[in-house]
Amino acid sequence: MSTPSARDFSPWTFATEAPPEERERARAHLAALTSAHPDWLIGDDVFLSEHAGLDPEAFAIGDRSYVATGAYLTGTIAIGADCSINPYAVVRGDVRLGDAVRVGAHTSIIGFNHSFEPGTEVFRQPLTSRGVRIGSDVWIGSHVVVLDGVTVGDHAVLAAGAVVTKDVAAGAIVGGNPARLLRWRVAPERAGDSRRDDLTAFADRARDELPAVLGRVAVDGGFRDRPDAAPTLRAVCDAVELSALLHDAPPPGDDRAGWIEVIAAQQRPATGLTTDAATLWDDPDAAYGVLSAGYALDLLGGRFAHPLADVVDADAAGLIARLDALPWDTDPWRAGHHVDAIGTALHWSGRRQDAIPPGVAEALFGWLALRADPGTGMWGRPGVDGDLRLLVNGFYRAARGTLAQVGLDVPHPEAVIDTVLRHARDDRWMRRDRRDACTVLDIAHPLWLTRSTGYRRDEVRTLADDLLRHALTGWHAGAGLSFRLDAGEPGLQGTEMWLAIVWYLADLLECSDALRYRPRGVHRPGPAPR
């Protein structure tokens, strides 16, 4: 291995000062790392010193970022664009940096911790990890220590020697041991003004371009989700939702009565479902139909023409047996999906003034109240390796169609917040390039639903700000938003869901009024009118 050069200690000089032989050696080093670690994601114009200790299990680094000599990186590390890890810095554990983060020399960012219960040597005890999340445009001075579980907001400054044990708000300058607020680099009100301007511009663009978004997927008598997809009832309902949300009007191609007829014609008289399934418990598409078709009809001023047999023919004991039989331990998402559908079916039956058998609604809401796990606040179990995605998704679906729809509190709100925030740190699903509408909505809605507790408020706001900034970058001219924000073809489903997500995140930050829209259909905040 070569002797470190000045560029190894000051990599920002590499692009302009490195002689040809150093450039060739740096290229060869990157090639060797890429060959040895094909799963690492290394951007363009990245400098990784030969004399840095790079041993992460998962590693991503964005364009024009660099790691200097003597730095030591292990764990699951994600570094954005234009970042610097300066000499002898240590970054270990579950750590994610945004863009333009500068990490000073001899700083330690530690995204894990040791257990230290008495009776066993510390080094023999298991590790725990909550992870460290650092926003964009953050300056971290030399000899700073950032401990596990900390979130640092955008534009913050961590002064030299700071020991950071708690979250740092966006725009704050902190220092000392333990770190405390010294002053503001970006005052909260200024950050809020900028955010409001961004929200207004985003919503105005969506309104202006909605005709083009719908026009690219319109077909005779209906819509498709994307230009390469087949026409579906779901796409028609998404078009209704978008038109009601942004234009307070029916979609182009027909008037309200005409679209009501198109949607209502899909309902089977014998079951009330929009597929040939015998019950909504058997068919996920039938369950989706109760939601998408029901809310679209509601927005158009109509309602289902036929009763929903799963409600009007139900009995309390049979409903409890159905709930018990759902796959809560293995697939809490699917279980929550069916609860969402039966709760929404109860709502539409009530709106139709159908005779609902005694005790059916009480059985549903009583079951949910008694079966919520106090440890997670949710129904079901985490997946393999502590994966919380299906658990959180199932909670959102079950709570949305039941408790949220009628305005009841969730049984264990602080446990829900703990679980959701823990899930939000899981880069298997929440790394920036992997975020999709379902995963982010499953986070935003439960946090909004439990916001009145004030529990972990600063962490919730920091997360909401990060997710919101990302969501606002996803609009495609004349096409809307993709279901997976940074990949895939834009479509009606992605557009409808992300517009609702933007509202929820903005409302958590107390600036949703800047959008001048509020979800009114399937993603309506607050109880539905009875």
How far is Cα 226 from Cα 272, in angstroms, rounded to an integer?
Answer: 28
Count of Cβ atoms closer than 10 Å to residue 229 Cβ: 15
Selecting among 106, 114, 306, 476, the annotated active-site residue is 114
Q: How far apart are CA 525 and CA 506, in angstroms?
A: 13
Question: What's the Cα-to-Cα distance from 135 to each of 51, 337, 483, rounded to whole Å?
Answer: 27, 34, 24
Query: b/e per residue, 450-468, with b = 16+ CB within 10 A?
Result: bbeeebbeebbbbbbbbbb
**Dist CA 280 CA 360 (whole Å):** 16
Burial track 61-92 (b if 16+ CB lie within 10 A, e otherwise): bbebbbbbbbbbbbbbbbbbbbbbbbbbbbbb
The length of the chain is 530
Contacts of 271 by beta carbon, 8 Å cutoff, 6+ apart = 277, 278, 279, 308, 309, 310
β-pair partners for 286: none
Amino acid identity for residue 203 in this structure: A
Count of CB atoms situated within 10 Å of the CB of 165? 14
| E-state strands within 222-280 | 222-223
**Nearest one of 444, 453, 449, 468 to 407, comparing CA atoms:** 449
Confirm whether 347 is a catalytic residue. no
Catalytic residue ranges: 114
